[in-house]
Amino acid sequence: MKKRTFLKAQWRKLLMVNYAVDPKVLKPYLPFETELDFWNNTCYVSVVGFMFVDTKMLGLRIPLHVNFEEINLRFYVKYKHTDGYKRGVVFIKEIVPRPALTLVANTLYGENYETLPTRHTWTESNETLTVEYGWKKQGKWNTLNVVTNKTPVDITEGSEEEFITEHFWGYTQISNTVTSEYEVAHPRWQVYPVREHTVDIDFATVYGPDFAFLQNAKPLSVYLAEGSEIQVMQGAKLKVKR
């Protein structure tokens, strides 16, 4: 049966800050029937800021919910299917500026969205592109900032960039025995070579004590992907294997 498209949009200027994490930290967040996914024996967690552009839900543009920022904390999993492994992501938290987005995602889909003030800037010079995302919690602005070359390049096959950007499924922990699965379709992205970056996040306040260790951690890598049009397909529940 062909799955229905739930959401169409563009994801643009995805700023990805990637850290190594002890797998034990993520085990409580691991959805039923999924396994942690590793690259070069490393377990990753990423902070990702980007723009939703020209967003349509079930084919409709909802006023004030067409263009907006999202900042999420995510990690990488795989699910063993009859045709092999599906590689996906699990979101620890997704921050957006509109309460209606949070209400729908949390109530209907069991996600962990939070509504906070957000902002972004994209600035071009003759040689560089500067992208920044910010979100405000408990009176403090948290920010991600990157300065890159202006021309994007292709992602190398088998690279860390490919691992981070090409997980095409989302998995959500509904309960100890139920997991929601949905597909995200998009073409292969390009990335901008990074010149410098700044991370200013109060991790304990934003993401809780389990992720306070990231405050003093050095990112393994930072990417800026151009993004593309995307489609999020209607989700389904994973069934208990007999």
Q: Report DSSP letters for the chain, one per residue.
A: -PPPEEEEEEEEEEEEEEEE--HHHHGGGPPTTEEE-EETTEEEEEEEEEEEEEEEETTBPPTT-SSEEEEEEEEEEEEEETTEEEEEEEEEEEEES-HHHHHHHHHHH---EEE--EEEEEEE-SSEEEEEEEEEETTEEEEEEEEEESS-EEPPTTSHHHHHH---EEEEE-SSS-EEEEEEE-PPPEEEPEEEEEEE--HHHHH-GGGGGGGGPPPSEEEEEEEEEEEEEPPEEPPPP-
* pLDDT tens digits, one per residue of 164-192: 999 999 999 988 899 989 889 999 999 99
pLDDT at 58: 58
Whether residue 111 has pLDDT greater than 70: yes
Split at pLDDT 50, 70, 90, the class of 242 is very low
Highest mean pLDDT among 59-63, 151-155, 183-187: 151-155
Whether residue 88 has pLDDT greater than 90: yes
The pTM score is 0.93
